[in-house]
Amino acid sequence: MAVTRKRFSSSSVEEDGSGFCDSAHMSASDTSSEEEHPCAPLLCCHSVQDSLLSSNSSFTGYRGVLNWIIILLVLTHAHLFLENFIQHGFLIDVRKVLGHLIEDNCNRPSVNLIVAANVFVPIALLLERCQEKGALSAANGHRLHLTLLGLLLLFPAAVIVHEPMISTGGAFFSLWFYTVLGMKLYSYQETNRWYRLAHLEEDQNESQKDHNEHLTLRDLYYFLLAPTLCYQRDFPCTPKLRVNKLLHRLLEMVVVIQIMVGIVQQWIEPIFQRSENSFSSMDITMRVEHLVGLVAPTHFLWLLFFFLSHSYLNICAELLHFGDRHFYGDWWNATTLITFWNTWNIPFQKWCHRHVYSRLVERNVPPSQAKLLVFLMSAALCEYLIALPLHSCRLWIFLMMVFELSVAVFLGNYFQGNYGNGLVWLCLLLGPPLAVTTYFHDHYVGLRRPSSSPLTSDRGVFLQLQ
C-alpha cells in the first residue's frame, strides 16, 4: 500500500501529468504485478474529440433536429393557412380544376390527339419488321424513323397552336404524352438496331426467330406502358401483383392531388388575383414581392409533384410487374447541382446517357461538350413542355436552368458538403419551379382579360366559375 500511495502522490503528478491516464489504461501484465488505484478510472475524463456540430465530426444522428424542424414548419404554415382562410375564406373548388380539363362535348381535341397517337405505333413496328426481313435497309429505315418521330412531335404542337377549343389541361396532357411516346419510339428503333448489329455473326435462322418473337404489337405496347424510356428485350419482372401496395399508392395519389389542388387554389391563386399585369410589365419592386410570396407554395407544389410521380410510376410498375423501380436517387442529399440533375429523374437520365450522350461521344465529341449539349437539350425540352400549352414563350425556364449551370460550374468548388447541399436546396427554391409559376401567373392574368387569350373555352369556363 505504501508503494501505491507513493505512486499517486501529488509530487509524482507534477512530474508527469499523464500518469493518471496511464494508470487508468494499464496493460494486463502491469495490473498483475501492481494493484491499480481504486479511483484511477475517475481521474481521466477528457480525450481528443470534435464538437458534434463541427464539420470534422462524424456524428450523423440529427433525427431530433429534423423532427424539431418539421414541427416548426407545420406550426408556422398552420398560422399562414389560418391567416389565409380568415382573409380569403374557403376557396377550394374542384369545378375550377375541371374547367381547365373539360372540353366541348362534340369536339375534344386533346382526347382525339391521344387516340391519334396510336397510328404512329404500328408504323414504327412495321418499319422494324421490314428492316428485320431485309426489305428495308438500315439507313433508309433510320431516315423513315426520324421522319416519323418528327411528325409525332410537330403534330401535337400544330394542333395546340391552331385549335382554340383545346383546354389548357388537355394541351399539357397531350403534349407530354406525345413527347414521352417520341422518346420511347426513338429508343425502340435504336435498341433494335443494336440487337441486329449484335446478331450479325449468329446463325440467321435462330437470329431471325429470336427477333420475330419480340417484334410484336404486344411487346411494343408493354414497353410504351412501362415506367421507363429505354427499351430492352425481356424486362426484369416481379413474380406477382401486390394488391396492398397498389391500393397504398392509389391512396397516396388521391391525397397528394387533393393537397396540390388546395395549395393552388387557397394559396397561389390569391397571389395571382392581386396582379393586374404580367411579370414582364411589372416594376422590379412588385415583381420581387410576388416572387417572394410564391417561393414557399411553389416549392411545396414541386415536392408534391415529385411524390405524385413516385406514386404513379410505382402504380404502373406494379400493374405491369415491372421490376426496375429505381426511378430516382437520393437527390435530397446532393452536394452539387450536377449530382441532383443525375439522380432526381433516373429514367430521363438513362435515356439521355444512352441515346444522346453516348452517341455524341461515339462521334468524337468531347465528353464535356456532350454533357453541355445534353443539358441544353433538356432545358429546351422543359421550356417547350411548359411554354407551348400556355401559348407563351419567354425562355425564362431555359435561362434559369442555364443560370443554374453557371452556378454549378463557377461556385461548385466553393460550396461542398453541407454547404453544397444548402446551395442545391436554394436553387430548388429559387430556380426552374419558380420560373414555371411565372408562366402560369401570366396565363392566369391573361384569362382575366376578355380579349387577351385565344383560349376562348378556358376563359369562358373560368370566368363563369369566378
DSSP calls for 22-58: HHHT--HHHHHHSPPPTTHHHH--------TTSTT--
Report DSSP state, residue 17: T
More confident residue, 393 or 373: 373
Q: What is the mean pLDDT of residues 117-139?
A: 89
Chain segment 195-241, per-residue pLDDT in tens: 888 876 565 545 454 556 778 899 999 999 999 999 998 899 988 88
Chain segment 433-461, per-residue pLDDT in tens: 888 988 888 888 877 665 443 434 443 43
Is 51 part of any domain? no
Q: What is the structure's pLDDT at 105?
A: 57
Q: Which of 196, 197, 186, 194 is nearest to 230 (CA)?
A: 186
Least confident of 27-36, 108-117, 359-368, 378-387: 27-36
Q: What is the mean pLDDT of residues 375-397?
A: 91
Chain segment 327-374, per-residue pLDDT in tens: 999 999 899 999 999 999 999 999 999 999 999 999 999 999 999 999
How far apart CA 379 and CA 385 sit, in angstroms, is: 10
Is 348 part of any domain? yes
Number of domains in the chain: 3
Same domain, residue pair 212 and 259: no
Q: What is the structure's pLDDT at 346?
A: 94
Cell of 248: 397504398
Same domain, residue pair 214 and 300: no
> pLDDT category, 95, cuts 50, 70, 90?
low
Same domain, residue pair 221 and 281: no
Is 151 part of any domain? yes
Q: Among 191, 225, 259, which residue terminates a domain?
A: 225
Least confident of 123-127, 130-134, 278-282: 278-282
Q: Which of 332, 306, 305, 337 is nearest to 403 (CA)?
A: 337
> pLDDT category, 81, cuts 50, 70, 90?
confident
Q: Which of 358, 355, 429 is nearest to 190 (CA)?
A: 355
Residue 275 confidence (pLDDT) above 70: yes
How far apart CA 466 and CA 461 sit, in angstroms, is: 9
Residue 1 confidence (pLDDT) above 50: no
| Domain, as residue range, for 17 | 2-42
Q: What is the structure's pLDDT at 176?
A: 93
More confident residue, 415 or 250: 250
How far apart CA 372 and CA 116 sit, in angstroms, is: 35
Chain segment 412-434, per-residue pLDDT in tens: 788 888 888 999 999 998 888 88
DSSP string, 288-309: HHHHHHHHHHHHHHHHHHHHHH
Same domain, residue pair 175 and 268: no
Q: What is the structure's pLDDT at 2?
A: 41
Q: What is the structure's pLDDT at 288?
A: 85
Which stretch, 64-73, 276-285, 335-344, 407-416, has highest mean pLDDT? Answer: 335-344
Q: What is the structure's pLDDT at 459?
A: 39
Same domain, residue pair 9 and 142: no
Is 236 part of any domain? no
Q: What is the CA radius of gyration of the chain?
A: 31
More confident residue, 28 or 406: 406
Report DSSP state, residue 322: B
Same domain, residue pair 212 and 341: no
Same domain, residue pair 273 and 199: no
How far apart CA 198 and CA 176 sit, in angstroms, is: 33
Same domain, residue pair 117 and 214: yes
Q: What is the structure's pLDDT at 463?
A: 36
Which stretch, 4-18, 107-121, 323-337, has highest mean pLDDT? Answer: 323-337
DSSP string, 123-187: HHHHHHHHHHHTSS-HHHHHHHHHHHHHHHHHHHHHHHHH-TT--HHHHHHHHHHHHHHHHHHHH
Q: Which residues pair with 237 in a beta bridge?
A: 322
Q: What is the structure's pLDDT at 287?
A: 83
Q: What is the structure's pLDDT at 446?
A: 79
Is 170 part of any domain? yes
Cell of 421: 447541399
Residue 270 confidence (pLDDT) above 80: yes
Residue 84 confidence (pLDDT) above 90: no
Q: What is the structure's pLDDT at 56?
A: 75
Residue 301 confidence (pLDDT) above 70: yes
Is 69 part of any domain? no
> pLDDT category, 101, cuts 50, 70, 90?
low
Least confident of 147-161, 264-278, 303-317: 264-278
Same domain, residue pair 266 and 405: yes
Q: What is the structure's pLDDT at 355?
A: 93
Same domain, residue pair 369 and 455: yes
DSSP string, 381-439: HHHHHHHTTTT----HHHHHHHHHHHHHHHHTTTS-THHHHHHHHHHHHHSHHHHHHHH
Same domain, residue pair 265 and 403: yes
Q: What is the structure's pLDDT at 170?
A: 86
Q: Using DSSP, state whether 330 is helix, strand or coil.
A: coil
Q: What is the mean pLDDT of residues 315-328?
A: 93
How far apart CA 133 and CA 161 sit, in angstroms, is: 40
Averaged pLDDT score across all residues of the chain:
80
Is 55 part of any domain? no
Q: Are 315 and 246 in contact (CB under 8 A)?
A: yes
> pLDDT category, 133, cuts 50, 70, 90?
confident
Is 61 part of any domain? no
Residue 318 confidence (pLDDT) above 90: yes
Q: What is the mean pLDDT of residues 96-113?
A: 69
Q: Which of 174, 263, 171, 264 is nearest to 453 (CA)?
A: 171
Cα–Cα distances (Å) from 316 to 117, 230, 299, 326, in that order, read 20, 15, 26, 13
Q: Are 253 and 84 in contact (CB under 8 A)?
A: no
Least confident of 97-106, 166-175, 234-243, 438-447: 97-106
Residue 157 confidence (pLDDT) above 80: yes
Same domain, residue pair 252 and 347: yes
